Structure 1
Amino acid sequence: MPNFVDVILPLPLDNRFTYTISEEEAVFLQNGMRVAVPFGKSKVYTGIIAEVHNRAPEVYEAKPINQILDETPLVTQNQLEFWKWIASYYMCTEGEVMRAALPGAFILESEHIVQLQKEAEFNESDLKDDEFLVVEALQNQSSLKIKEVEALLDKKSVLPILNRLMAKDIVVLSQEIYEQYKPKRVKYIKLHESYESEDAMHQLLDELSRAHKQREVVLNYFSLKAKSLKPINAKELQKISGTTASVLKSLVSKNIFKEYYLNEDRVAFEGEITRSHIEFNEYQLKAFGQIKAAFEEKTVCLLHGVTSSGKTEIYLKLIEEVLNEGKQALYLLPEIALTTQLINRLQAYFGDKVLVFHSKYSMNERVEVYQNVLKAGEGPKVVIGARSAIFLPFQQLGLVIIDEEHESSFKQYDPAPRYHARDAAVVLANLFKAKTLMGSATPSLESYYNAVHDKYGFAELSRRFGNVMMPEIEIVDIKEKHRKKRMTGHFSDRLLKEIEESLAEGEQIILFQNRRGFSPILECNTCGHSPQCPNCDVSLTYHSHSNQLRCHYCGYHIAMQKRCMACHSDDISTKGFGTEQIETELKALYPDHKIGRMDQDTTRGKHGYEKIITAFEDLEIDILVGTQMLTKGLDFRNVNLVGVMNADNLLNFPDFRAHERSFQLMLQVAGRAGRTKKRGKVLIQSYNPHHQIIQQVSTNDYAGMYKEQLQERYNYKYPPYFRLVRLSLKSRDFSKTNEAADWIAKAMQNVFKQNVLGPEFPPVARIRNEYYKNIMLKIPQNQSLGKTKAVLYKILISFNAISAYRSVRVIVNVDPM
C-alpha cells in the first residue's frame, strides 16, 4: 500500500516535498488533487499531489498531510507533464509554474485567527489600552484575523500585544485555511404552493385589489411564467414591475412568494447563435486545402495571410470540425483588446461553447472558466484567451490556433515562468496529439524559417477578402517638411490634407504613435536639466490629463513643474511626443470631431478595451490615436486612412529584433486601412524615408525583409541559428551587482568561450532602486540544449553558495524577446 505523496508547493523551490498519508487516504488520493500541508515551523500551504508512492525521503522525516481539499483531481496528468516541461525548458521551478497556472483562489493561504479563550477570566483594569480594544472587539465578534487586528489598532506590529494576551490565557491563536472563491448566488422568486390552483389565484388577486403595487408584481409574475419555463429572477421581476425591493419583501413576508437562491456562472453566454454557415472564396478554399494537406504529415502549420484576407473564417471552419469530433479547441490571441472583438464573432457561430480566459477577468470568473474546461463531460468547448489560457485543464484538446503568432506579447516577462505561449502551445498540443495552426500577416522570422525548412507545414493567403486592394502606402519626409516649414505641430501638411479629405467623406482615421503620455522629456532651456525618476534611470514622462510627471517603470509621480528644479528658470519645454499630445493637437485642429485615445492609460478597467472599440465601431469616434494595441488584428469597417506619426523611434531600438518588429508593426497598422471596398491609404512620417525597412513596408515586401534579416542573424549569431539564454542580475548594491556579474560571466566563459556576451548594463540599468546587469549566452544549433542548461544550473548553484553575493538575484530568461 503506498504511504507517501510527493507534493508541488507554490514556492520557488527546486524539488517536490514528500509527506506521509494513512491507508484510508492512500485509497482516496490521486495525482492532481489539492492537499493542505505543513511547511517550515508554522506555515500551511496548498500543494498539488504529483505522485503517490512508497519511497520514504532520505534526508528528512516526512510530516503527515493536514487535510484533503478536493474530491476529484483539480489538475490533470497532462497538465502535470506540461508543468514539468515548462519548468525544465524555461529554467524555473514547478512551484512557480503552479502559481502561474492555477487561479489564485485555488491556492489557499493560511491565516492566523484570534479568538477569546472559552473560559477566560480577566480583570479589565489589568489590561493595557490596546489589549482592552482587542478583547472588546472579540466580545462583539467570534474571531478576528491578524490583518483586522492591525487595522483596529492602526499598528503594523500587533504580535507583541497578542503574545501578552496569550500569556494571560485570554486569547488563542489558531490557523485557518480559507477558501477564496465564492460562487455567484442569484435570488429567484416563486409563488407559494398554496396559490397554485386557479381559485386560490383569483382569490389572491381579489385580496390584493387595494395593494396596487403588490398586485402589479403578482400579475407580472404570471405573465413572465407564461412566456418561459425559466426560473424567475427577483431583480428582473422588480424591474419589469417598476417597483422597489420592499414591495417584493412584503409579498415574501405574507407568504405569497418564496425566495430561493441558485449558483450562477459569471461568464454565461446570454445571446443567440446568429450564423451557422461559413462560406469561403477561392483563395480561402485553396489555403484551407493546403492546411488540411499539411496536417496529414505535420502537427504544426503556418498560415501566412495578408491583412484582411479572411484568416478568421478559416480558423472558425477548423474549430467547427474539431468540435464536431467532440474535442476541445484553444484559440490564443496576444492582446486582450483583440479578444473583445473576436468573442462576438465566435459566439455568433458557437454560442455557449465559447469560454473566455484572460487576466482582466476577476478571480472568481477565472475559477469558473477553469472548472468549465475541467468538466469534459459537458461537451466540446472552444477557449479563447491570452497567453495564460495554455494552463487550463484541457481533457481532449484537438486543435490549437495561435493568431498573430509573431507578437512579442506572447512572451511572459515577470514573474517566472518566463514562457513563450506560442512555443509552449506547440508542446501542449503534442501532449494531446493535437494540431497547431499559427497565423499572421507578418510571421516571425523563426516560424517562417521553420516553414521554409520543412519543419512546419505552410499555407498562404495572398489576396484580401472581396478582392479589396492592399492599401496604398506613402512615405512623408518630415525632415524636408520641417525645413520648408510645412509642419503643424507633429502633423505634416500631407497628413493633414488626407485627414481632412477622410473626415469630409465621413470615414474614420487611425493614428499610431508608439508612446503613451504627453511628452517623454521635460527640459530646461537655460541649464538643460530634465527631471529624472529617483528610483530608475529614466526621465519622467509628462501626462497632461493628470498634470503629472510619471515614471513608466515604477509608477513614481510628482506634480508638473512650473520651474526648473535645478536652476529655477521658468523657461521649460517638452521634448518628444506621446499619444496624449497627438490627441491634444487633434482637438485643437478639429474641434467639431470626436477624438479617441487607446493606450495603457485609457484601458485600465475590465471593460476599458471594449468601450473604446465599441465606440469606434459604432462611429462615435472619428479619429482614434493609439499605441501598438491598435496594430493587432482588429477589424474596423470604416477606416480608410492610417497615419504612422513617427517611424524612427521604432527602428532605433537597441535590440536585434528591432527591424523585424518595426516591419511587423508598421505593416500591421497599415492593414487596418481600407478593409471593405475602397482602397485604403497609409502615410508613414519619418526623418529617414530611405531606410531599408520603411521601403520594404511601402512595397509589402515580406520576402525581402526575411532574406535580409536572416542574413544579418546568421552573421551575428542570433536566432534562428543560435538559441539565446539571458541572465539578468539585480540588487540594490551597485558594486555587488558588478562583482557578481563578473564572477558568473568568468565561470560561463570557462565553458562556453566566445559564446558569452557581457556582462553589460541594459539600456535602463536601474529600476526601483535595483541595479541590473545582463549576460547573454548564445547556443549553436549543434550544441545540446539540455547539457548547456545542466552546466548553467551547476554554475548558479555554486554562485548561490557564495555568502557575499546572497543579496544578488539572478533571473534566467530562456529565448528572451
Structure 2
Amino acid sequence: MPYFIDVILPVPLDKEFTYSINKNEAAFLKPGMRVAVQFGKTKVYAALVSKIHQNPPQIYEAKEIEHILDESPIVTDSQLELWSWIAQYYMCTRGEVMRAALPSAFLLESETIIFKNEQTKVNESVLKDDEFMIYEALQHQSLLRIQEVMNIVSKKNVLPVIKRLLEKDVITVQEEIYEQYKPKLVRYVKLHSNYSEEGALRLLLDSMTRAPKQREALMQLFMLQANSNKPVKVEELVKKSNSSSAVIRTLIDKNILLEYNLQTDRVQYEGEQKVETKELNTYQNKALDEINDSFLEKEVCLLHGVTSSGKTEIYVQLIEKTIQEEKQVLYLLPEIALTTQLIARLQEYFGEKLTVYHSKYSVNERVEAWNNVKNKKNKAQIIIGARSAIFLPFVDLGLVIVDEEHESTFKQYDPAPRYHARDTAIVLAKMFSAKVLLGSATPALETYYNAKSEKYGLVELTRRFGNVLMPEINLVDIKTKYKKREMTGHFSDTLLEGIQHALKEGEQVILFQNRRGYSPVVECNTCGHSPQCPNCDVSLTFHSHRNQLRCHYCGYTIAMLQQCMACGSSELSTKGFGTEQIEKELEELFPEHTIGRMDQDTTRGKHGYERIINRFENGEIDILVGTQMLSKGLDFRNVSLVGIMNADNLLNFPDFRAHERSFQLMQQVSGRAGRTQKRGKVLIQTYNPFHQILQQVSVNDYLGMYKDQIEERHQYKYPPFFRIVKITGKHKDYNKVNDAMNWLVKSLRNVFAENVLGPEFPPISRIRNQYHKNILIKIPQKQSLAKTKEVIKRIHNSFKSIKEFSGVRIIINVDNY
C-alpha cells in the first residue's frame, strides 16, 4: 500500500504538492516536520509536511522525497492553523507565510555544485575567456561553488557562463542541500583523569619547573575549580593565567588537560533579577481591576492611557500573574528601537525569563529563540519582539500585550504576507483562549470604535504617573515669524529661546522632523532643474555627511553635483530640510553642546538603536534630533522640551488616515516631554496654526479628534464602516499596466458596482522602474468578506490567463491601512 505526504513549499504557489514515502517514513513523519524534496528539474527545497495519507495525486506522478530533515516537528499544529488563516484572510499563499514565519536557517535551499565532466575531452580553443577560467580552476580543485565561480570571473550573474559550459559538456552540476544553523560550541578543559590522585599531581607540578607558564595555567585551573563547581572555559583560563591559547594547546597535547565542547545559547542574560515590582498608584490599581473584570467577559481589552501614565507597570502585573499560571506571554512592540529600552526594564523584574525576537537578530540567534519557545523553556516565558514574533511556536499562550497598538509599523507591506500583527495576534490568542491587551495613548480609530461598540473592553487611564501634569503645548506660527524676520535657519525665536532655557537648566531637548537626509530637493537657481532618480518618480535627497544624492525608494546614489545637469550652472541650492540639516544648524547654534541624530542612517546594525538611546539616557547627548522613531513610547526622564520642526508636511498627505496619523504622531512625540516632576513643554512650528487637528493636539483632545474623523469615515465609506482591499498592478511598461488595470476594474465593477474606486496612479507612480496603478474595493459591513475575496480571486485567475497582460504583477493588500 503506497503512502504519501502533502507538503507546503516556501514558494508563492497556491496549492500543496504530494510526494511519495515508504511505510517506515510514514510511521515516523508527523505534520510540522521538514523533508528535503526536489521541485522542478533541479531545485531542492526544505518543505513542511502538512498531511500524511494514502491518496495518490490525480494529475502527476508523485516523486519520492530526498530525505527527512527533522527528528521532531519544528512547527506546531496551532501554527499551521494560523498560517492557513493568514493565507485565507490576507489573500496570499501558505508558502509565502511559511517563508515569512520560519527563521531563514530552516528554509534550507540547495546550492549548485559544479564538477568537471570526466567523460568528455575538451577542446580548449572553443572556450571563451571566462569559460576557460572556470575550466582551468576545475583542473586544480574537484568542485566549485557558485560564490567561488563569481570570484573567479568577477561577475555577479554567472548563470549564463555555467549554461554555456553545460551545453559544451565541459561540466556537470549537482544540487547540494545544507543546514544553515550551527549550534554554538564553547571549549572547556578539565584535568586528565591520570592526575586525579594527589601523588601523581604533585609529581606533575614538580616536573614543570622549566615551564612556568604551563604551571601557572594549571594553578589557575585549580583555583577556578575551587571557587566554583562550574566547568572552566578555555577562554576564561587564558585570561586568568595571562597566558595564550598555545600554552593550553600544549597542555592538551601532553594529555595533562582534556578538552571538551558544550553547546550553549548565543543570547544569555548576565544580570540579576533584582527589582520587586513597583507599587501601583490608585488610578493604576483601578485600571488593573477594570482590565481583570473586562477579561472575565471579553477576550480583548483596550487600555487607553495618556502618555507617561504608567501603562508598562500595569503590563508587568498582568505578566507576573500569567507566569504564575505557567503560561507564556507575548509582548508586541512596533519598533525595534523600543525593545532595547523595554528589555532593560523587564529584565530587572523577570531576569532570564525573557526572550527577545526581531529581525536584527542573527539567523542562529533566531533559531535558538524559536526552539526555546517551542520547548517552553524557562528562559522563554515572556517573548518580547516586533511583528514577526507572532509566528513563534507557542505551546501555552496566556496573554498577548500589543503596546502602541495604533502604530502603522505593525502592518507588513512588502513582501507577502501583508498581515497586520495586531489583528493576527488577536486571532492567535483566540486559538489558545488567551487574553489580549491593546495599549495606547492614541488608539487607532478602528480599535476605539470596537471598544465603544462593546466588542472590546475599554479601560481609561487619564492621569500621568506621579500626578505629573500633561505637557504645555504651544503652536508657533512660522508664516508670521518669517514675515517679521524672527527665524534663524529653520528655528523660530520661540523655539530657540525654549532650547536655550532647557539647556541652561541642565535638561535635554528632543526635536522631531519626519524626514531623514539633509535636504529632499536640490534645485538649480538658473533653470530650476532638480536631479531626479532614474528609476523612480522622485527627486534625489541630499545627504551631506557622505556628500551624495540618494533615492529613498530604490537606494540609487550619485555624488553631489558641482553644476546643474541641464544648463551647467554652478548655482545650486537646497530646498526643504531633513534631520541632517537640523543637526548641522544646531551644531552652529550650540557649539558647546552635544547633538545626536536618530534616523534610519544612524541606527543601522544590531546595536544601532541601543547605542543612541543609552547615550541619551546617560546624559551624553543634550539635543536629540530624529524621525518618527522618537515618537514610539520611549521613556526619557530628563527631557523638558520637545520641538516639532514642521507639522504641515504630516497633515498634507494624500491618505484617508493622514489627520488621524498626524494627531497620533504629534501627541506621541509630545508625550516624551516632562515625564518627571517638572511640567514639560512642546512647541509645534506650523504655517497653519488654526488647523483643526493642531488645535486638538494642543489641548490633548483625543475624543474631539475621534468624533470628527469617525463622522468623516462614515460619510465617505471608510474603515471601520467599510473594509478595504487595495489591488496594485506593477510593470515597467506604462501602457501595459494601464490596459491591464482598466480591464481589471471593468471586471470588478460588474460585480461590486460603485464600491470600486480607480484605477489611479499614486503620487509616486514609478518606483524601481516599475509603474504602479491602484484600485480600491470597499466592502460594506453586511457584505460577506469570504465571498468577496472568492470573487476577487476568480477575477484575478482569469486575468492571469490573458496573454497580453503577462508580466503585469498584481498585488492584493487586504486592510491596506
TM-score by length of 2: 0.96
Structure 2 CA distance for aligned equivalents of residues 59 and 164 of structure 1? 32
User: Which residue of the partner structure matches residue 192 of structure 2?
Assistant: 192
Compared with structure 1, are the counterparts of its residues 140 and 316 closer, same or farther at alpha carbon in structure 2 (3 Å cutoff)?
A: farther
Note the C-alpha offset of 1:346: 1.5
Worse overlay, 504-513 or 62-71: 62-71
CA distance in 2, matches of 1:375, 1:172: 43
Residue in 2 aligned with 1:668? 668
Q: CA deviation at 1:319?
A: 1.1
Partner of 2:302: 302
8 Å CA contact retained: 1:332, 1:403:
yes
Deviation of 1:146 (Å): 3.4
**Structure-1 separation of matches of 2:65 and 2:738:** 44
Match of 2:709 in 1: 709
- In 2, Cα distance between the equivalents of 1:779 and 1:80? 28
Q: Which residue number in structure 1 is paired with residue 516 of structure 2?
A: 516
CA-CA distance at 1:380 after TM superposition: 6.0
Q: What is the deviation of 1:379? A: 7.5
State the match for 2:602 in structure 1: 602
8 Å CA contact retained: 1:278, 1:317 = no
Q: Match for residue 11 of structure 1?
A: 11
How far is 1:141 from its partner?
Answer: 4.6
- State the 1:116 CA deviation: 5.5
1:684 alignment partner in structure 2: 684
Instruction: Find the residue that maps to 1:72 and give its secondary structure.
Output: coil
| CA distance in structure 2 between the partners assigned to 1:723 and 1:355 by the alignment | 35
Secondary structure of the equivalent of 1:247? Answer: helix
Q: How far 1:220 moved relative to its partner?
A: 2.3
Amino acid at match of 1:38: Q
Runs of 5+ in structure 2 lacking a partner?
Answer: none
CA distance change for structure 1 residues 497 and 385 in 2, over 3 Å: closer, same or farther?
A: same
SS in 2 for 1:446: helix
Q: Which residue of 1 aligns with 2:398?
A: 398
Query: What amino acid sits opposite 1:780 in the alignment?
Result: P
CA contact (8 A) 1:323 1:380 kept: no
1:635 equivalent in structure 2: 635
Check conservation: 1:326, 1:379, Cα contact below 8 A: no
What residue is the counterpart of 1:481 in the other structure?
481
Tell me what 1:800 maps to. Answer: 800
Quote the offset at 1:482 in angstroms: 0.8
Aligned equivalent of 2:619: 619
Q: Percent identity?
A: 64
**Aligned-partner residue type, residue 251 of structure 1:** L
Shift of 1:807: 1.3
* Contact kept in structure 2, 1:301 and 1:437, CA below 8 Å: yes
Cross-structure match for 2:470: 470
Checking the alignment, whether the CA contact within 8 Å between 2:130 and 2:161 is kept in structure 1 is no
Match of 1:579 in 2: 579
Instruction: Check the 8 A contact 2:92/2:416 in 1, yes or no.
Output: yes
Aligned: 1:251 with 2:251: yes
- Alignment CA distance shift 1:258-1:700 (3 Å): same
- 2:114–2:143: 8 Å Cα contact kept in structure 1? yes
The answer to whether the Cα contact below 8 Å between 1:327 and 1:380 also exists between their aligned partners in 2 is no
Taking structure 1 as reference, are residues 123 and 255 closer, same or farther at Cα in structure 2, changes over 3 Å only?
farther
Q: Deviations over 1:353-382 (max 9, x none)?
A: 111100111111111111111112658611
Q: In structure 2, what is the Cα distance between the partners aligned to 1:177 and 1:749?
A: 48
Aligned counterpart, 1:315: 315
Residue of structure 1 equivalent to 2:455: 455
1:221 aligns with 2:224: no
Deviation at 1:137, TM superposition (A): 4.4
- Does structure 2 conserve the Cα–Cα contact (< 8 Å) formed by 1:2 and 1:52? no
Tell me how far apart the structure 2 counterparts of residues 353 and 166 of structure 1 sit (CA, whole Å): 58
CA separation in 2, counterparts of 1:2 and 1:81?
27
| CA gap 1:247/1:13 in 2 versus in 1, 3 angstroms | same
**8 A Cα contact 2:4 2:53, kept in partner:** yes
Whether the aligned pair in 2 keeps the contact of 1:734 and 1:771 (CA below 8 Å) is: yes
| CA displacement 1:73-117 (0-9 Å, x = unmatched) | 111110111000000100000100000000111111122223467
Per the TM alignment, residue 123 of structure 1 is displaced from its structure 2 partner at its CA by 9.2
Alpha-carbon separation, structure 2, partners of 1:100 and 1:15: 17
Whole-Å separation in 1 of the counterparts to 2:249 and 2:232: 15
Determine the structure 2 residue equivalent to 1:659.
Answer: 659
Per-residue deviation, 1:236: 2.1
The residue identity in structure 1 corresponding to 2:15 is: N
User: Is 1:757 aligned with 2:757?
Assistant: yes
Which whole-Å CA distance do the structure 1 matches of 2:722 and 2:572 have between them?
Answer: 48
Between 224-233 and 709-718, the greater mean CA deviation after superposition:
224-233
Does the 8 Å contact 1:304/1:442 carry over to 2? yes
State the distance in 1 between where 2:574 and 2:125 align: 64
**C-alpha deviation, 1:172, in angstroms:** 4.6
561-570 vs 137-146, which deviates more? Answer: 137-146
Paired residue secondary structure (2:180): coil
Give the aligned length: 813
Report the CA distance between 1:151 and its aligned residue: 2.7
Quick one: distance in 2 between partners of 1:2 and 1:351? 52
Match of 1:784 in 2: 784
Q: Secondary structure at the residue paired with 1:63? A: coil
By how many angstroms is 1:190 displaced? 1.9
Determine the structure 1 residue equivalent to 2:502. Answer: 502
Distance 1:741 1:108 in 2: 37
The match for 1:85 is: 85
Give 1:563 deviation, angstroms. Answer: 1.4
CA contact (8 A) 2:372 2:380 kept: no
More moved, 553-562 vs 141-150: 141-150
1:93 partner amino acid: T
Deviations 1:294-318 (A, max 9, x none): 1000100000011111111111111
Q: Which residue in the other structure is 1:288 paired with?
A: 288
Structure 2 distance, partners of 1:348, 1:403, is 19
Match of 1:330 in 2: 330
1:18 shift after superposition: 1.2
Structure 1, unpaired ranges of 5+: none
Structure 2: distance between partners of 1:406 and 1:553: 25
| Match of residue 102 from structure 2 | 102
Amino acid at match of 2:8: I
Does the 8 A contact of 2:521 with 2:541 survive in 1? Answer: yes
Aligned pairs for 1:8-47 (under 5 A) are 8-47=8-47
For 1:206, the equivalent position in structure 2 comes to: 206
